[in-house]
């Protein structure tokens, strides 16, 4: 999953002039959490992100901003660690972000626990986090929950729940979810799916 939380902010803050950045850094040193955040974003996005020394410094400013109680800095820390595949470091930040309703954080946690990234895989926690993300309109997370009920991963298999989550995934724009829901719904209604020949002919109608 590609996390999207700070991309737009990075484009904006990455354009800070050197003098402006120094001003933010000085304010950060004097305890201004928002300035720590601004400096951190500037140094961890855009061209600066390609310089590991600058990025490391930027993460320090973001960490300081997070300690000052700037939630978006905590969110950004989780994004950075997740995308760098430092899942153990990302997890506590993502947990806080998910509780605040950040959909990418919930979805990321679902993936971490599903695939066992730097932690023992846990189907129950994975499903719970995916459900949280689904409630926040993540089509991919809704589809992932449907797969959980289809395979019985940490839960009893449930055709009705599988179908319901495919429907949610479809409602949020997931084409695979739409296809799976339609197939199951047609089967429930006794409607036969068209064969391969009928599907091929329909392409030319």
Q: How high is the pLDDT of residue 118?
A: 95
Q: Where are the domains of the chain?
A: 1-84, 89-205
Q: Which residues are within 8 A (CB) of 43 and not within 5 positions of it... i.e. 6 or more apart? A: 21, 49, 54, 55, 57, 58, 61
* Whether the Cβ atoms of residue 49 and residue 84 lie closer than 8 Å to each other: no
Q: What is the pTM of this model?
A: 0.83
* Whether the Cβ atoms of residue 126 and residue 25 lie closer than 8 Å to each other: no
Q: How high is the pLDDT of residue 12?
A: 47
How do the pLDDT tens digits run along the chain, 205 residues long? 445 554 444 444 445 667 799 999 999 999 999 999 999 999 998 888 899 999 999 999 999 999 999 999 999 999 999 999 999 999 999 999 999 999 999 999 999 999 999 999 999 999 999 999 999 999 999 999 999 999 999 999 999 999 999 999 999 999 999 999 999 999 998 887 665 445 555 555 5
Supply the DSSP symbol for 93. Answer: H
Residue 60 CA to residue 149 CA, distance in Å, equals 41
The closest alpha carbon to 81, from 108, 107, 61, 119, belongs to 108
- Copy the structure tokens of residue 23: 């001003």
Q: How high is the pLDDT of residue 16?
A: 60
| CATH number 1.25.40.10 given to 89-205 | yes
Query: Residue 66: enclosing H or E segment and its boundaries?
Result: helix 52-67
Supply the DSSP symbol for 191. Answer: P
């Amino acid at each position: 999953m590609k996390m999207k939380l700070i991309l737009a902010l990075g484009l904006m803050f990455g354009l800070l002039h050197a003098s402006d950045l120094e001003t933010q850094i000085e304010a950060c040193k004097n305890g201004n959490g928002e300035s720590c955040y601004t400096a951190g974003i500037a140094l961890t996005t855009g061209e600066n992100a390609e310089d590991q020394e600058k990025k490391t410094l930027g993460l320090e400013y973001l960490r300081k901003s997070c300690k000052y109680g700037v939630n978006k800095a905590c969110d950004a820390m989780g994004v950075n660690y997740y995308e760098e595949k430092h899942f153990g470091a990302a997890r506590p930040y993502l947990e806080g972000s998910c509780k605040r309703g950040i959909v990418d954080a919930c979805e990321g946690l679902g993936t971490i626990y599903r695939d066992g990234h730097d932690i023992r895989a846990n189907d129950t926690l994975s499903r719970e986090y995916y459900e949280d993300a689904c409630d926040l309109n993540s089509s991919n997370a809704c589809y992932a929950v449907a797969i959980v009920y289809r395979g019985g991963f940490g839960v009893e298999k449930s055709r009705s729940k599988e179908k319901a989550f495919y429907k949610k995934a479809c409602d949020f724009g997931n084409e695979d979810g739409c296809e799976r829901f339609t197939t199951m719904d047609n089967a429930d209604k006794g409607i036969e799916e068209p064969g391969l020949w009928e599907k091929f002919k329909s392409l030319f109608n």
